[in-house]
Amino acid sequence: MNLVAFKILLHDKAKYVALVLGVSFATLLISQQSAIFHSLMHASTRDILEANQADIWVMKSSVETLDQGYPIAELSVNRVRSIPGVQWAVPYYQSTAQLRTEDGRMKLVQLVGIDDLSMVGAPQEMLIGTLDDFHQPDAIVMDIAGYTNIFPGVEPTVGAIVEIGQRRAVVAGICYIGASWSGMPRVYTRRSLAVSMARETLNPVTYVLARADSKHSPEEVAKKITKATGLKARTRAEFMGDTRTWILKYSGIAENFGITILMGVVIGVAIVGQTFYMFSVENLKQFATLKAIGISNWVILRMIMTQALFVSTIGYCLGIGAANFFFAMTSTQLSGGLRGMFMDPSIFIGSGIFIVLVTLLACVVSVRKVLTVDPAVVFRG
Amino acid sequence: MMLVKFGIPLVAAIAIGFGIATLSHLTPKEQLTAAQNPPPLTTLGANTISGLGEVQMAGEPIAIASPISGVVSKVHVIPGQTVSAGEPLFTLDDRALRAELHNRTATLATANAKLLKLKAGTRPEDLPPARARMVAATATFHRNEDAWERAKRLVEQRVLSEEEHLARKFAYDQSSAELAQAKADLAKLEAGTWCHDIQIAEHEVASARSSVEQVQVDLDRLVVRAPVDGLVLHVDVRQGELAESTRSENPLVQLGVHGPLRVRVQVDEEDASRVTHNARAEGFVRGRDRVAIDLRFVRIDPRIVPKKSLTGGTTERVDTRVLFVVYEVVGEPPQIYAGQKLDVFMEG
């Protein structure tokens, strides 16, 4: 009987193609939007991701999100080091600063000051130069997207001289950093230099990054640090969660993407439901004939389900393929707002399950007529 | 028909294949990595207090000041030089005081000469004229005495007029007084200088001498000397610059006392209660080769002081205070300098 079902399905090529395209479009919309949403949430914790040597972040207790670090005393680093279970702790500085090019253009940049010696928090992917170049005088490392933003049309290269906070800075390296929440160009430098570039008169620390030793879990050590120092200590995962929660709470991004994804679902359901409905209405006579020759409703339903499953699978494959093609094209660019965006495997699989279920549901609703059709229709002519 | 029948599933298969292939490729790998050059690990055990240390010379560094403001004419030392107590460090311009010294020395010489002259007494050449004056006065006296005696007899004989008699008497009185004066003058010359005059002259000499000495002391103060044996840590003065006596920060010359280096460790006041006497400690130089340095306990400063380097943020507690614990560097580890920062771990 399944063969008959396929024959019916493939009989009208235009409808078949419309069905497949409808499903694939819905899949594309849902999976791509979900993936971008997920990637944005991922990108909002960019600094935590880059500093993948540390599993504990220590901050002022009023800090709610990554980009909003308040200065703490330099001696806090030593206090964190005193806690049993801490393998090492290093300072980390983060601020925004005004960058001025030699021809006088101004740009606000995200300044990251990494510990001069341990290099914890340094960019993981250097495109030009190495981490040793951080030790050159007045050296900064800029991300390639920021570089093309600041020097449009210039082939990325080291040696450009800029002014940050009225201090000379030399581009000593260029790195790749995925998209971040703020989207500002990123400038990495030694903490000692960053502090003077941010025109801080004293010697502040924004975060203390620490690593728990092998005998203690990060959660346990973070609790100990909070208790002993009065500072807020969060594990890497907890701090990522805090940052994402804060963004979801204070920006409309969740609603925004939610609406788009919902639209994808509605459009998908509408196209699939409508086409299946038309499809079954047009093939009503065939189904009636089948019923007339004694085929049960259950078998007919199974035939339609098979059709729907086939269409949704094909549609899903095309849609998810297109979505991944989109990411393969956009996210592998070194600069550009979608760099580093990716489709999470859970979205990849989840959107498939979702779209198949939705399609099945839509066709079941739309083929009620077939199940209730009177076989006598065939003879009415 | 064939195209639709097999083409679409084929394209779908390719699409999903592409999707799966890029999926693993594009998804970022999430894993912790080791820090490239992590800060040192202490060997002291689990319960430690960590603080920020600064290496200093034995004892506190001595900030040398200038006693008077003036232009520097010569700097005698360079940083790193060993000096002994009393050795000159720098000299201020002394031309004005030298001129003053010449002036006062001359005044002293004058006073001395005056005293010598007084002590020498009467000039010998003054005596003969005085004596001659007395002889002459004696002769005049005798002549007038004789004339008057004669007149006394002649007036009784009424040979001489009363007027002539009186004239001779007055001439006699005058020459008698003149003789007395000549005698007194001679006696004064023969007696020599009065002792009180000599005393006054002696005091004048003493006063002139002390005024010379005062200028000499002032001159000596223009040469700034090392108060103790030590090492010149820093020289912030050059020939021709003005050395101000009121300058308090950035001392002109900084001296350190020789001896084992010391480390002053800042400990947050909240950890202060955990600091114990004689706790073992080790320090790590900030740098690429972080060797551990053994430290020996010296003392805990009895005062908690406000921390100098605050972060300046709006939410900063300004009353952050630190306790200073002083340690001594054991042995003579190489490449340790005064002023260097150390990460110090103490047993707590």
Note the ipTM here: 0.78
Higher-pLDDT residue of A336 and B188 is B188
Average pLDDT over residues A370-381: 73
Supply the mean pLDDT for chain A: 86
Establish how many alpha carbons lie within 13 A of residue A222's alpha carbon, considering only the half-sphere containing its beta carbon.
19
Which pTM was predicted? 0.73
Average pLDDT of the residues in B23-49: 77
Fill in the amino acid letter for B90: F
Mutation for B interface: A15, A117, A342, most B CBs within 10 A: A117
Which of the two residues, B319 and A338, has the higher pLDDT score? A338
Bridge partners (DSSP) listed for residue B90: B75, B224
Contacts of residue B14, defined as CB under 8 A and 6 or more positions apart, other chains included, come to: A321
Pairwise CA distance, residues B295 & B332, whole Å: 11
Q: Where are the alpha helices (DSSP H) in chain B?
A: 2, 8-26, 95-120, 127-156, 162-191, 195-221
In the predicted model, is pLDDT for residue A103 greater than 80?
yes
Cα-flanking dihedrals φ and ψ of residue A223, to 5°?
-60, -45
Q: Contact B311/A205, CB-based, under 8 Å?
A: yes
Residue among B1, B313, B345 minimizing CB distance to A71: B313
pLDDT at A203: 57
Q: Report whether pLDDT(B2) > 90.
A: no
Give pLDDT, residue B170: 93
Given pLDDT bands bounded at 50, 70 and 90, which one contains residue A200? low
Q: Extract the tokens encoding A226.
A: 């909070």
* Separation CA A315–CA B8 (nearest Å): 9
**DSSP secondary-structure letter at A138?**
T
Residue A42 has pLDDT above 60, yes or no: yes
- Percent pLDDT > 90 in chain A is 27
B window 291-320, beta carbon within 8 A of A? 307, 309-316, 320
B273 close to A (CB below 8 A): no
Of B32, B38, B49, the CB nearest to A52: B32
Chain A residues in contact with B325 (beta carbon < 8 A): none
Residue A324 reports pLDDT greater than 50: yes
Q: What whole-number distance in Å separates Cα of residue A379 and Cα of residue A370? A: 16
Q: What is residue B142's predicted lDDT score, i.e. its pLDDT?
A: 94
Decide which of A365 and A173 is more confident.
Answer: A173
The answer to whether A202 and B311 are in contact (CB under 8 A) is yes
Chain A contact for B289, CB < 8 A? no
pLDDT confidence bin for B34, thresholds 50/70/90: confident
Q: pLDDT (tens digit, 9 = 90+) per residue, A70-100? A: 888 888 888 888 888 888 899 999 888 889 9
- How confident is the model at residue A154, as a pLDDT? 87
Q: Residue B311 — pLDDT band, cuts 50, 70, 90? A: very low
- Tell me how far CA of residue A283 lies from CA of A41, A275, A291, A307, A339, in angstroms: 47, 12, 12, 13, 48
Q: Does B323 touch chain A (CB under 8 A)?
A: no
Q: Please, how many CA atoms are within 13 Å of residue A211, restricted to the half-sphere of its CB?
A: 22
pLDDT digits (tens, 9 = 90+) for B253-272: 988 887 888 898 888 888 88
- Residue A368's pLDDT is 78
pLDDT, tens only, A265-302? 787 778 777 877 787 777 777 778 888 888 888 888 88
Q: How far apart are CA B251 and CA B232, in angstroms?
A: 12
Spatial strand order in the sheet of B70-75: B223-225, B88-92, B70-75, B242-243
pLDDT at B217 over 50: yes
- Judged by CB atoms within 8 Å, which residues 51-80 of B form the interface with A? 51-52
- The phi, psi pair for B314, rounded to 5°, reads -70, -25
Work out the burial of residue B95: count CB atoms within 10 Å of its CB; fewer than 13 is exposed, 13-18 middle, 19 or more buried.
exposed
Of the candidates B30, B47, B312, the beta carbon closest to that of A204 is on B312
Residue B26 and residue A84: Cβ atoms within 8 Å? Answer: no
For chain A, the 3-state helix, strand and coil shares in percent, each to the nearest 5, are 55, 20, 30
What is the rounded average pLDDT for all residues in chain B?
86
What is residue A202's predicted lDDT score, i.e. its pLDDT?
58
> B331 — contact with chain A (CB < 8 Å)?
no
* Residues of chain B found within 8 Å of residue A229, distances taken between Cβ atoms: 270
Which of B33, B41, B311, B317 is most worth mutating to test chain A (most A CB atoms within 10 A of its CB)? B311
C-beta of residue B284 within 8 angstroms of C-beta of residue B292: yes
Q: Is the model's pLDDT at B313 over the cut of 80?
A: no
Domain residue limits, chain A: 2-44+252-379, 73-230
Q: Is the per-residue pLDDT at B276 higher than 80? A: yes
Question: What was the pLDDT predicted at B1?
Answer: 57
- Note the helical H segments in A134-252: 144-150, 191-197, 218-229, 236-250
**Which residues of B fall within a CB distance of 8 Å from A321?**
12, 14-19
pLDDT of residue A17: 86
- Is A318 close to B50, i.e. CB distance below 8 A? no
**Model confidence at B317: pLDDT above 70:** no
- What mean pLDDT do residues A159-171 have? 90
CA distance B312 to chain A (A): 7
Pairwise CA distance, residues A359 & A269, whole Å: 7
Tokens read off for A15: 């409808």
A206-216 average pLDDT score: 90
Residues of A in contact with B52 (CB under 8 A): 74-75, 78
Taking residues B316-325, report their average pLDDT. 71
What is the average pLDDT across B137-155?
A: 91
Residue B314 has pLDDT above 60, yes or no: no
Look at A317 and B48 and tell me if their CB atoms are within 8 Å. no
What's residue A201's pLDDT?
58
CB atoms closer than 10 angstroms to residue B340: 17
Per-residue model confidence as pLDDT tens digits over B180-205:
999 999 999 888 888 899 999 999 99
For A31, which residue in chain B has the nearest alpha carbon?
Answer: B19
Instruction: Please tell me whether residue B115 adopts helix, strand or coil conformation.
Output: helix
Provide the pLDDT for residue B222: 92
Name the range with the highest mean pLDDT among A10-14, A241-245, B2-6, B63-67. Answer: A241-245
Examine the pLDDT at B90 and tell me if it is beyond 90. Answer: yes
Give pLDDT tens digits for B111-121.
999 999 999 88
Q: Rounded to a whole number, what is the distance in Å from the CA of A325 to chain B's nearest CA?
A: 7
What's the average model confidence in pLDDT over A233-262? 90
Q: What tokens appear for A209 in the block?
A: 């990054």
Cβ-defined contact of B46 to A205 (cutoff 8 Å): no
Q: Percent of chain B, pLDDT > 70?
A: 94
Average of pLDDT values for A216-233? 91
